[in-house]
Every structure is written in structure tokens, then in C-alpha cells.
Amino acid sequence: MINLESNLTEMFKKWIYIVIIGAMLATSCVNKNGSTPVKWADATAPIAATKAYTRIIHSDTVMDEYYWLNDYFKQGPDSTSVVAYLEQENQYTATMMEDTEVLQESLFLEMKGRIKEKDESVPYLKNGYYYYRRTEEGQQYYKLCRKKGNLQSTEEVLLDVDKMAEGYSYFAVGGFSVSPDNKLLAYGVDTVSRREYTIHVKNLETGEVFVDKIERTSGGSTWANDNKTLFYTSKNPVTLLSEKIMRHTLHEESQHDVVVYLEQDNTNYIGVGKSKNGAYIFIYTGGTLSSEVLILDASTPEQPFRSFQPRIKDVLYSVIPLADRFLILTNDEAKNFKVMECPLNKTGKENWKEFIPHREDVLISDVEEFKKFLVISERKNGLTQMAVRSLEDSSQHYLDFGEPAYTVYPSTNVEYDTDILRYGYTSLVTPSSTFDYSMSSMTKELMKQQEVIGGYNSELYVTERQFASAIDGSKIPISIVYKREFEKNSQAPLLLYAYGSYGSSMDPSFSSSRLSLLDRGFVYAIAHIRGGEEMGRQWYDDGKMLKKKNTFTDFIDCGKYLVDENYTSAEHLYAQGGSAGGLLIGAVANMAPELWNGMIAEVPFVDVVTTMLDETIPLTTNEYDEWGNPNEKEAYDYMKSYSPYENIEKKEYPNLLVTTGLHDSQVQYFEPAKWVAKLRANKSGSNVVLLKTDMDYGHGGASGRFDYLKEVALNYAFLLKLEGVTK
């Protein structure tokens, strides 16, 4: 790097400057501070065709010239052109990133090398069997196994997923459900990556997979106590919405399955499950604002479900069955939720009595039941915590974790009559750990900690918890991690990540792949912005619907805070988000492009208005309580005012890497494709916009335990290239 402030004469300095800059401009662009040249290939970016399409609603006329890009799944006249365009974009991205191929391969091998290939999960006990998964060296998937009675017994391999996945570019299996008599296993399989599962049933005594095949489901299923009846969630084939709860009798054709619940409100999600004590089957139906639970004795599967408590406007509730009563977790006149109780035979709201009161500063997020104890998951000051409460004497104590930023959660706790709580713990510097905690003796045992192959020393890294001030004075938590030798001199690159939607909290957790960034000098930070629930239910309410812009301004204010506090500078600040977090990236790119040198938007929800107007698109109607219904003018005007696609301007944008999947059912490929096409047609300056479409996968990316690291390697190589790091 040339220092133009040396002792050269002014004339000679100018001459050197002209020569250097001229040479750079021939093959590269220059970062905003002019200090780190970024060399890009001399390639012409694809230019998407424009075709007239007009949207008229609420007397508002909008010309959408790239609307034709949504034609792939409609198989209309432009479907072939769509694929051709996406492939052109893929080739352009490959060309622009060609000089990082060695780095990408190195990153992939480095990250893969930290993963213990031959590994085994901590076994858990259920109904007399210990269940676990194990992975083998060189294999992408796993074996689902069990042992009867004790861990010294002979292993049974229930499913060899490595073998099942052979020949598929994508393979996902889940929803494992073992019958009460331990003889049958139901499971779901998705080979397309659109979250449509086919349920199969396997005889665990003979190894036979029955001809029973239930298609278009959510994947999970629930056994009744007769060992022959399965309840499952059926999806609408067009919208992919969970639409019906069905009852299937073993060995009967699935077309004869009985509808036990039909969801009439397309803004609700539905599901079915079984209580931990095995006594009840529950149907849950709910949206963002209200819910209802239906209940059935698990021993009488052919009886009709009854409503536990009919739906109440703006009230959410869930049910926790104990041996002698029901507990109800609800936000009825309790913003941060409270716990009520009622008799087993009188479940209506008029019978509810307060058990754990509402607190203004504590969100009750979950209650885990055991025969003698309750484990209450809470959030306070942006951190998760767990309280153990005795059902015998009502005494209560909290677990202590001793780090400034961490994540703790109940893990696999399927046994009802036990005093052992299994919980998971992790932080930005602590690998994922599984503990067994005796609720009686208040002692814990570390059962397993994620092993980082090649060695990992947490003492080499530092984690912090800071608070940025939002424009309205709210304090936004930021979790930060960096290598111990980091200096706050504004020169370090920093990657800021956030999500900020659906009340989903982005708690700090360990990532062995992230070490590849930290070890190359990056700082990593998570902005706990509004739209999540880190600071309570109000934190969520203040980041959705007509307050959605708080999510974006919070993120910008976190970025500014990190710059002001000298963690980094605008020349070295980067942003990343996916799905609804991709919406965040798109909105922030429009609102404050000067603050970022680069951004990564993964499967981004960026064409908000168009998607929310199309009820045939999966999830649209379910999302009205999150974003609003644009058929209503107030909601339409507001979401149009922030939708990334609608607000692209002729100005300079940060460098952008955008990823999507052709088969994505959550955020369809055409949203990022349209966004990139319009950005490229309008942006000024020499910063690049790259689009990478995975032609085989969907929303979650690759299904193998190693393949996804290739996507991470591309993201990291993009960031490192912008920083001039080549190794």
C-alpha cells in the first residue's frame, strides 16, 4: 500500500497518485477511504429484460418491469428465460469471485476440519430406550439409533440417513415419532427443499417400511396410545399452508384419512402434538395475536377434539398438563405472559386462577413440566434465564451462568417422572454444551461439549455486551466477540448480524466456522433489534406492523454506535441478514448506504408489497399480523414506504452479495432476483451487486452437514476480498 503523505515533492506525489489510481481503475474499484483496493474481474454484469406490468391498488399505479421473473413455478412463457437469467447471474458471480476460489476452498476445508466427523449425540431416555444420533467419517448425514435399557445394550440403527440420501442433491428427514409400544417409527422425508414432507412408517422389529405413504405434510406426526393411529398436519398443495389435521389408521390408504380439524382462517398456523405425560393429544391453532388449543384423550383417538378454551381476541395461550391440573401460559392482560392453573375437568377461562403473576420486566417464554418440578424459561434485560420451581413446596431457584452474553435453553426432556433437567448452553466463546442438572440436589454435570478439532482456546477470544441508543432513546443490546489482541482503533473489519422479526430472538451462540473470520481480524456482533423478543413482548410489538421501521433504524443506530466507539469504521463495516433479516439488509441499504462497505443478504424478503398481495404464495396470509394486509390502504402505504424493491434509488449502494434458492418456499427466488435486477439498473458507482442462486436447494440451503459450509465460504470470501485478505 502506497502512503501518499510521504516526503515526496507535491508534484511527484500528484504524478504517483495519477499513475496508481489510473492503474487501479482499469481492473478494480477502491474502497471509500481509498486505502484497500478491491480487484474485480473485467466482466459485464447481466442486464435483466424489462417487460411492462402494472400494479394498480388503492388508486396507486406502480410499474414493475421485472415482474416476469416470478414465472418459473407458473410454467408460463417466461419460465425458460427465468432459468437462463439466473444462470447468467450465477456465471457472473463465479467470474467476479474467481480469484477467491482457492480462498473459498481453503475456508471450506478449514471449517470442515473443525468438525468432528465421527461423533455421537448425548443419548436421551424415552420409554425404556436411549436414543441418539451418530455420524461417521466422510458422511454428510447420520444414523438414528437406540439402545434398550442401558447404554451397554446392543445398538439398533433405526434409520441410516446416509444411505437413504444416496442419489439426492437434497435430502431432509425429520418428525421422528416412535409408537408407545416402541415397535413403530413414523418419520417425514423432503427431497425437494420446499418443506413438503412425505410421512413413512417403519416396523422397528422387522425393518420393513410399510406401504403407508402420506404426502404433502409438515413432516411430524403423533401416535395415539393404540399404536395404530397417527395424527398429522396436511398442507395446501398451492399455498403450502398447514391446512388440516388428519387422522391416519395404519395400513389404510391415506386417501381415506379423516379430517379432524380444518383451519378456516388462512392467517393461522396449526399443528398437533402429544403431552409429555402421554395422556393428551393437542391441536394448536394460532397466529401472531390469538390462539386456541383443542384437546383429546390419547387413548380414545376416534373421539372428537374439544376446545380447551375458545379463541379470545388478542389472547395467546398454550397448555401444560400436570398430573392433577392444567397450567396455562397466556398473555391475557399480561403483555409479558403469566401462568394460570385450572382443574383437569374445567378448562374454560372462568376457571383459570393465577399461578405465576405477570412481571413488567420479565418475559415468560416457556414452561417445561416434570412430575415434581417446573422449569420456567424467562428473558430479562435481553438475556435468557431458567428458574426451577418445586411443585411440592413452591420453592424456586435460578441457574447461574457467569458470562455477559449467552444462550441457555431446555434441551431434550421427554421423560415426565424425573428430577433431571437437560439443558443446552452456549455463548459467543463457549461451544455448544449439554448439561444434566439435578433439580433436587442443584448439581450439574457436563454431558458433552462441542469438540473443535484442531484445538480451541476460549481464552483467546473476548465477548462483550454493549447497548446502543436508538433514535427514540431505546437501548439496543449488542453482543460482540473478537480475538483478544483486537484494538479499538477503527481499523478492524466488523460484521454486524441481525434478524428482527416474528419475535424471534437472536441469542449469542458459538460457531466454529465463525473462527475463520475472527482469526483473520474480524469483529462479529449481533444487534438485538426490535422485532425480536430479547427485551420482552413489547420489543416485538414495537418492531412489526406499522412500527416495522424501528427494526431498520435500530440496526443503523447499532452500526453507528460501533463506528462511534471505534470498533470499526464505515470503510470496514459489513452487514448480514437472511430471510426477514434480508428485508432488514435491503431496507438499510436504501436508508443508510454510506454506513456500510459491504452487505450479505441471504434469501432476502425484499419485495414485500408484491408478495403480501399474492395469496397464492406460501405463507402470505399467515403473515398479515406481522407485516399488515396491503389490501388495506394504511398497511399498503406503510409497507410500500420501506419495501427494499419499491425504494431503490439512483445512488451509490454498498457492495452486495445476494443468495437465494430456486426451490425456496419461504421467500421465493424471484424476490432477490427482481431486487438485484433493479438495483443494478439504478445504482451508481463501481461497487458490485452479485446474485448466487442455488438451483437445487430451498430456504435452508444445502442439507448435508458439510455442504452448507461452501455457502459460508462464499460469504466469507466476499467479505475478505473487500478487505484485501487473500489467505
Q: Which residues are catalytic?
A: 579, 664, 699
Q: How distant is the alpha carbon of residue 52 from its chain centre?
A: 35
Residue 511, C-beta contacts closer than 8 angstroms, at least 6 positions apart: none
The CA distance from 693 to 89, in Å, is 8
Residue 214's DSSP bridge partners are 199
- E-only strand ranges, 498-590: 523-527, 573-578
655, 45 contact by CB (below 8 A): no
Residue 104, C-beta contacts closer than 8 angstroms, at least 6 positions apart: 97, 710, 713, 714, 717
The sign one gets for the Cα dihedral 107, 110, 111, 117 is positive
The CA distance from 521 to 492, in Å, is 7
The CA distance from 353 to 347, in Å, is 11
Residue 132, C-beta contacts closer than 8 angstroms, at least 6 positions apart: 120, 121, 122, 123, 124, 145, 146
Best CA proximity match to 18, nearest among 2, 41, 40, 39: 2
Helix (H, G, I), strand (E, B) or coil at 228: coil
What cell numbers appear for 576 in the block? 448480514
What cell numbers appear for 464 in the block? 462483550
The CA distance from 319 to 634, in Å, is 36
The CA distance from 191 to 651, in Å, is 42
The CA distance from 724 to 36, in Å, is 6
The DSSP secondary structure of 373-421, one letter per residue, reads EEEEEEEETTEEEEEEEETTT--EEE-----SSEEEEE-----SS-SEE
Residue 329's DSSP bridge partners are 318, 339
If you search the block for the grid coordinates 419460465, which residue do you land on?
A: 79
